[in-house]
Amino acid sequence: MVARLIAVILIFAAWGCSRELQPRTAEDGLVHTSEDRSQGSALVSDRPYKRASQHLPNLVQIHPRVISGGLPEGDAAFAELQSLGIQTIVSVDGAKPDVATARRFGFRYVHLPRGYDGISENRVGELAKAVRDLEGPIYIHCHHGKHRSPAAASVACVAAGLITPDIALSVLEIAPTSPHYQGLIQSVRMTKPWPSAALDALQVDFRETVDVPPLAEPMVALEQTYVQLQTIASHG
């Protein structure tokens, strides 16, 4: 009798351990039905975590509906987004999005560029409306996926009521966002949830590409050249 009781206890213990060790995947809540999406703030995720990726830099799962990361480059990167169930891509980078490739893979692209100095209240509202209303899951990216995109995705999720401000700050630690970009960090720290009525009233023209200030284009080119030089240097 005692031996049988011990066997039962061991079976339950093994079952519990197997559940704890089971990795989280896209099927654990990344893709939601239209009914799930309509619940808005009810979709509060667990703590954000870094996802493994072969072609997308610095992937951070912020909420079942929102992933932050770096620039998708080439078919392999867009195919990986497809495997994650992504429906809409939001770029906060100054560079023109690769709309043609995105269309081939069936994605909608939205361009809401943002600098390193912070995120204006109006842009916070636009980002929040995007994560709340556009077809998801949504991938928000900048170039590296370390600074602008985790900050933009965090303020979007807070303003839309998907995560709390303390969770938003943890996203910057996971990315990790440089402490030198105090404007971005302050924007995340100061963002509060927007009333649903305010987001309903906000009119946003979600476009595939938008014009950026004249200085932004050479800055983007300079950053891309710097990354290429780093790559060359890393290979000797």
Contacts with 56 (C-beta within 8 Å, 6 or more apart), sequence order: 69, 70, 72, 77, 80, 81, 141, 145
* Pair of tokens at residue 127: 């980002």
Complete domains list, the chain, with CATH:
24-231 (3.90.190.10)
Question: Residue 233: its pLDDT value, please?
Answer: 80
Question: Residue 232: its pLDDT value, please?
Answer: 78
56 close to 160: Cβ distance less than 8 angstroms? no
- Choose among 123, 58, 112, 74: nearest CA to 90: 112
The set of long-range contacts for 224-232, using a CB threshold of 8 Å and a minimum separation of 24, is 224/95, 224/143, 227/143
* Pair of tokens at residue 162: 């998907």
In the chain (236 residues long), the average pLDDT of successive 10-residue segments reads 42 36 33 35 64 95 96 96 97 94 96 92 96 96 95 97 93 94 95 96 92 54 58 76
Q: Give SS3 for 1.
A: coil
